[in-house]
Structure 1
Amino acid sequence: MRVVHVSQPVTGGVAAVVLELVRAQRDLGWSVVVVCPPGPLADRVRAVGVDVRTWRAGRHPGLSVAGEAVRLRRLLRDIGADVVHLHSSKAGMVGRLVVRGRRPTLFQPHMWSFQSAGGVVSRAARIWERVAARWTHRLVCVSDDELAAGRAAGVRGSAEVVCNGVDVERFHPGDRAAARARLGLPDVPTAVCVGRLVPYKGQDQLLAAWPLVRAQVPDARLVLVGDGPMAQRWRAACDDESVRWWGADDAVADFYAAADVVVLPSREEGMALVPLEAMACGRSVVAFDVSGVRQSVGEAGAVLPAGDVAGLAEAVAVRLADPSAADLEGAHGRRRVELLFDRRQVADQVATLVDEVLVGAR
């Protein structure tokens, strides 16, 4: 079995999912190749002994797509894959244009492209996804909400929901005070937000809520872990010394351990890894009700109507003021992750899908 995973994102949740699938499929004895741009994903895949081929591709569609398609066609021809697994919108676009269903193809959106765009771009993305469904042997959605959004947009064809999973051994409950000491953070009520600083991740909504949190919990601190194109603008607009702009950091488990509550203020998601990782670390989660959140969080925190900044502030403040109650939610979250979102279950489900599409094609 030779499986090729194609991904344009090399950081964040998409890269983490690809890496976990690659490890699991390598352990099955499959021949696995990852095609992606240079960056952290390529480095980590090589570190676990899996072949990586460099594909230079940008994040956004445009005139560069033609060149990207030529390069990807050459790579796939040289590799000779049995199954092609495309991750996220750019690889989904270029990969399906190149393969056109001639090889068994799985497409995993990790959040639909039309959800993160607006106007003409969003409408064009919906049309494209409906057309490209004919070249998709199996659509793999990470949440029931993501599949429902695809169906509502007119995307048809065979589909399966395979929720994201996390490594419950890497992400586990840890001592809060010790984690704060390792990171050099003060031992005060602490909210943590992990994610790329882009509009759809919604950190600006959390920043708008933060003064309301401080009004109830004056000594509270907010740690924003991540970087991105909005970092400079949002930071310039924030003069609150209680907000720590940490920047990108791969050691996110320490930040979850240091938190009293982990916040996901996103405007859109497929099924975010952050709540699952936080729950695995035994931490309460406060999030907006976007795709996949209710399915992942359950009773492990609070899920607020999307955009309800005042409600978000209240939910965060309550948990910072009473960390013992928040920890009870965190313990529930840990059990929920162990039962429903262990990465090994996810890998088994995807392996079964790969077998099915290959047998069906043959």
Structure 2
Amino acid sequence: MNTSDVCDALLVEHLPVPRPSLRVAVVTETYPPEVNGVAVTLQQLVQRLQAGNHQIQLIRPRQPLTDKDRDACDDELLVRGLEIPRYPQLRLGMPIKRALLAQWSRQRPDLVHVATEGPLGWSAVQAARKLRLPLSTDFRTNFHAYSQHYGIGWLRKPIAAYLRKFHNLADCTMVPSSDLLHDLSAQGFERLMVVARGVDTARFSPVHRSEALRAQWGAAPDQPVLLSVGRLAREKNLDLLTRSWNAMRAVRPDLKLVVVGDGPSRNALAQACPEALMVGAQSGDDLARHYASADLFVFPSVTETYGNVTPEALASGLAVLAFDYAAAAELIRHGDNGLLAPRGDETAFLQNAVDLISNPGLVEHLRERGRATTLTQDWGQIARQVEGVWHQLLAVRQPVVQA
């Protein structure tokens, strides 16, 4: 066999067989320029799927101040939305089951993917079942866990029952971590599959560290900066953030706290931490510079489905402390590339915070190792995983009882 024959054999046997492109209807109540984890990660996924030659129909609420001259996707269906109480910057999509039935009957998608569980998502689930379309969903937000933080804990069980019914109508539900899969499975959720979340390691990178930005914060080159990123709301456990900062300042009185984010608890946090720099919500390159220009990152929330800020902070080269669940449990090895406290153990969390600020050598080690961890979490790889789930679903789909 000559060299040409060998090359031909290698090409035939070892090159992956291209998967056919899919037409997928993606339904969501939130999408950029809205700033939240669901919106940002879904946009990353949609963009990578489009780059992979899949046809995406994006169905979402119209954002009146931003959608006049903007297309988020080549094929969009914009629907009426309703502001969410306490979160006026977010909207719920109104139900449009009849419109979806008409449109999907005219141009049938290969698959429907529903990312959110609001009225728009529910109508999409109902329309997909009516037309017997393959259906996948995402479990992205712990609404039932949030209820206890807003004085409506009595709604926890009804909300959980609704979410279970919603997702059990799907052929599969994607969840971002194995611990969440186990939690939901114990609650009666069916056909669950772990699909990781990605992180943009080019955008979130130590190369974006800005001494000019640090100077605006009043931070000297050798002065440590503690960063917090996320929605400022009760369910984010902001009291523990305050206590962690105070405990760390007992060791390093010059430690600065920079808070990125906005929400209904902003004023309360500003009053509890009057010396903190409250810089509001940031996005895009500005957000990346804020991450990279800090040194330490603590994430005290215990209500995340994943917690996108954890991989973003790791990718940006920060020393990260979080509770041992969701993204942190998936990505962090305690003492190697970050620090973990048992979920809900605030005493251990505070001790870890003190240990972190007390050991500059550990901080440098965690910063380097944390960045390296995220290099395997590229969004292109995640999109290929989702694509594989969908092709598997189409190949072996079992009928689901129509609602």
State if a TM-score over 0.5 links the two structures: yes
Q: How many residues align?
A: 352
Q: Name the structure 2 match of 1:326.
A: 363
| Max Rg structure | 2
Once residues 68 and 47 of structure 1 are traced to their aligned partners in structure 2, the CA distance between those partners, rounded to angstroms, is 17
Larger proportion of helix: 1
CA drift at 1:269: 0.9
In 2 relative to 1, CA 76–288 (structure 1 residues): closer, same or farther, beyond 3 Å?
A: farther
Contact 2:112/2:133 (CA < 8 Å) preserved in 1?
yes
The 5 Å alignment of 1:103-142 reads: 103-118=133-148, 119-142=153-176
In 2 relative to 1, CA 147–59 (structure 1 residues): closer, same or farther, beyond 3 Å?
A: farther
Contact 2:29/2:93 (CA < 8 Å) preserved in 1?
no
Aligned-pair RMSD on alpha carbons?
Answer: 2.9
Q: Name the structure 1 match of 2:28.
A: 7
Q: Name the structure 2 match of 1:26.
A: 50
TM-score by length of 2: 0.78
Contact 2:310/2:327 (CA < 8 Å) preserved in 1?
no
Give a deviation string over 1:99-157, Cα, whole Å, max 9, x none.
3362211111113432222433220122223333442011101010111111011112x
Partner of 2:114: helix, strand, or coil? strand
In 2 relative to 1, CA 185–256 (structure 1 residues): closer, same or farther, beyond 3 Å?
A: farther
Q: Name the structure 1 match of 2:393.
A: 357
* Corresponding position: 1:151 with 2:174: no
Q: Name the structure 2 match of 1:64.
A: none
The one of 155, 159, 170 aligned to 2:203: 170
Q: Name the structure 2 match of 1:204.
A: 239
CA drift at 1:173: 1.9
The one of 311, 314, 319 aligned to 1:284: 319
Q: Name the structure 1 match of 2:99.
A: 74
* Corresponding position: 1:343 with 2:379: yes
Q: Name the structure 1 match of 2:112.
A: 84
Partner of 2:242: helix, strand, or coil? helix
Identity level (%): 27
Once residues 179 and 46 of structure 2 are traced to their aligned partners in structure 1, the CA distance between those partners, rounded to angstroms, is 25
Q: Name the structure 2 match of 1:238.
A: 272
Partner of 2:253: helix, strand, or coil? coil
Partner of 1:9: helix, strand, or coil? coil
Once residues 303 and 214 of structure 2 are traced to their aligned partners in structure 1, the CA distance between those partners, rounded to angstroms, is 33
User: Structure 1: which 4+ aligned runs deviate by more than 6 Å?
Assistant: none
TM-score by length of 1: 0.86
The one of 35, 51, 66 aligned to 2:75: 51
CA drift at 1:200: 1.9
Greater shift in the superposed pair: 11-20 or 89-98: 89-98
Once residues 296 and 238 of structure 1 are traced to their aligned partners in structure 2, the CA distance between those partners, rounded to angstroms, is 31
CA drift at 1:227: 0.6
Give a deviation string over 1:268-291, Cα, whole Å, max 9, x none.
111111111111122111112343
CA drift at 1:68: 4.9
Contact 1:9/1:59 (CA < 8 Å) preserved in 2?
no
Contact 1:89/1:112 (CA < 8 Å) preserved in 2?
no
Structure 1, unmatched stretches of 5+, are 62-66
